[in-house]
Amino acid sequence: MSLEQIYIANPDFPDRYISPEKLFYYLEENFSDSIEMIGKSFLQKPIYKMTIGTGTINVLAWSQMHGNESNATHAMLDLLVTLQQSEKLKDELFAKLKLDFIFMLNPDGSEKWTRLNANGIDLNRDFHHEASTEIKFLKNTVASGDYDYALNLHEQRTIFTTNGIHPATLSFLAPSEDVERTVTENRKKCMAVIGEVYQHLKEMIPDHIGRYSDEFYPASTGDNFIKGGLPTILFEGGHFVDDYTRKETRKYYTIALYYTLKAISRLDSGTDGWEIYAEIPENRETHYDIIYRNVKLNTPHECILDIAVQYRETKEEGKNDISFIPYVMEAGDVKKRKGWLEIDCTGKKFVSEAKYPKLDAEVNFTIED
């Protein structure tokens, strides 16, 4: 029996949006013996850390450093309910390792579905300044624990593919420690884990696994943790075709988290197979959500162009889940990009009060026969 055979999504969290209060209640009701509050956000929301496992290999992971990236929180919630179906898999996984998982590091941003915290700060670029309350709790946790690995869990936009055709449903990174991108021993430890996970996932979702850019970011959390000696692996959950609510991504994110922990348990800081990491294709920025092709505008002179549209995700008052609002990103020759949805407008009417689509503005036109 494998995890992917018994995988189930946590039924208490069916939507992509996770209410912080609902999460807090769920953790307190079901895992009160396994959680502790490591601090409170700027708006005084609790930040919980769960501890599971009895092994000697210590792993720290955190989700929703960016509030509008819920897949990692889902993955941990799904992993917990899935493993309830198999004590054997659970015992095998947590006999050698101990996992500390920080749920929703940025609960204020998570509530509003924003990348930034309540002070407008990107926690992932606040490592040195410590202008945010929340980054201090993460750094204090790292400093107070004897961790062998860290998992920095994120999501990426729908624009990324692995080969210009298939979406990068999951991308991984062994972050650089310097601008030269030196392949250090700590990076090899991360690469070995990622390589092992890649071997599993490429059989399930071939051509959907990517490698994130290893450009060194001096203010980034993961880059600084690995520079300080802690092997840190970046996850990026991305798009799956026709899956804007990311239910498929959520499933594979959970499976990837499981196999990452298994690989960490097996490798135990070893670097066997680290070279496989180089086989993973690098992310490519190739797509928009929608491209309207051959649009004839209502202008005195003939003007035919392409219009590229990208969804922006917002949490609207009174709705349980997020909404997808289309915005114009490009107008003109967009032949270098593809659309997950392409609409040929040849012979159709561009209907709008404006003559031209306005860039970086909500779509205010329709295409009619």
Give 84-140 pLDDT, tens digit per residue: 999 999 999 999 999 999 999 999 999 999 999 999 999 999 999 999 999 999 999
pLDDT of amino acid 65: 98
Give 5-37 pLDDT, tens digit per residue: 999 999 999 999 999 999 999 999 999 999 999
Per-residue HEC secondary structure of the chain comes to: CCHHHHCCCCCCCCCCCCCHHHHHHHHHHHCCCCEEEEEECCCCCEEEEEEECCCCEEEEEECCCCCCCCHHHHHHHHHHHHHCCCHHHHHHHHCCEEEEEEECCCHHHHHHCCCCCCCCCCHHHCCCCCCCHHHHHHHHHHHHCCCCEEEEEEECCCCEECCCCCECCEEEECCCCCCCCCCCHHHHHHHHHHHHHHHHHHHHCCCCEEECCCCCCCCCHHHHHHHCCCCEEEEEECCCCCCCCCHHHHHHHHHHHHHHHHHHHHHCCCCCCHHHHHHCCECEECEEEEEEEEEECCCCCCCEEEEEEEEEEECCCCCCCCEEEEEEEEEECCCCCEEEEEEECCCCEEECCCCCCCCCCECCCEEEC
- pLDDT of 1 over the 90 cut: no
Average pLDDT estimate for 190-216: 97
Give 240-282 pLDDT, tens digit per residue: 999 999 999 999 999 999 999 999 999 999 999 999 999 999 9
pLDDT of amino acid 182: 98
- pLDDT of 215 over the 90 cut: yes
Assess contact for 24 and 37: CB atoms under 8 A.
no
230-234, 255-259, 297-301: least confidently modelled range: 297-301
Average pLDDT estimate for 295-309: 94
Average pLDDT estimate for 349-364: 95
Site of tokens 């503005």: 361
pLDDT of amino acid 203: 94
Average pLDDT estimate for 195-211: 97
- pLDDT of 179 over the 90 cut: yes
Q: Give the mean pLDDT of the chain.
A: 97
